[in-house]
Amino acid sequence: MTAHFNCHSSDVGPGIASYDIYVSSNSGPWAIWLAGTAETCATFNGLNGNTYGFYSRAHDNAGNIEPAHATADATTLVAITVIGAPVLTITVAGNQVVLAWPTNAGNYVLQTTTNLAPQATWTALTNNPAINGSSDFVTVPITNTNQFFRLQSQ
């Protein structure tokens, strides 16, 4: 998810020099996201299902810094819904197979089988998926056996 953050402020006298932008994920502790930025707009990449709070602290040209905030200036919930079945992407990287699907796919499990017969036995892969951008992915070694993969709705 990409959120756009806009800062608009004024400072009578010396003028605004920069901002520190803080973020909190799911009401957790505040962390600096952008330090000393003069930009008034930025893009934040968040994870599906998370709620993010933001606040800004202005620095003026006289060296004054706005006090820290106790609450967010703005909040957003990342809620992306996939319509239809997710697409499983399979690529080869060296001697590994990389299986990827959207992080917002919902309740699916990655399964494998060595036989596509009508009564094939599918087994869940136990590898924990990693995240890369908006995709979950699992890497498995290439073997000398046929392997087939699917995402199965739970």
- For the chain, the domain total comes to 2
pLDDT value at 24 more than 80: yes
Whether residue 13 is found in the same domain as residue 57 = yes
Q: Within this chain, do residues 67 and 111 fall inside the same structural domain, yes or no?
A: no
Which residue among 56, 77, 98 closes a domain? 77
> Whole-prediction pTM value?
0.50
pLDDT digits (tens, 9 = 90+) for 31-42: 999 999 988 888
For residue 60, what are its two tokens? 């003026």
Distance CA 23, CA 109 (A): 32
The b-or-e profile of 85-112 (16+ CB within 10 A means b, else e) is: ebeeeeeeeeeebbbbbbbbbeebebbe
Specify the pLDDT at position 15: 84
Range of the domain at 7: 2-77
What is the mean predicted confidence (pLDDT) over 11-38? 89
HSE, CB side, 13 Å, CA atoms: give it for residue 21: 20
Last residue of a domain, one of 23, 50, 77: 77
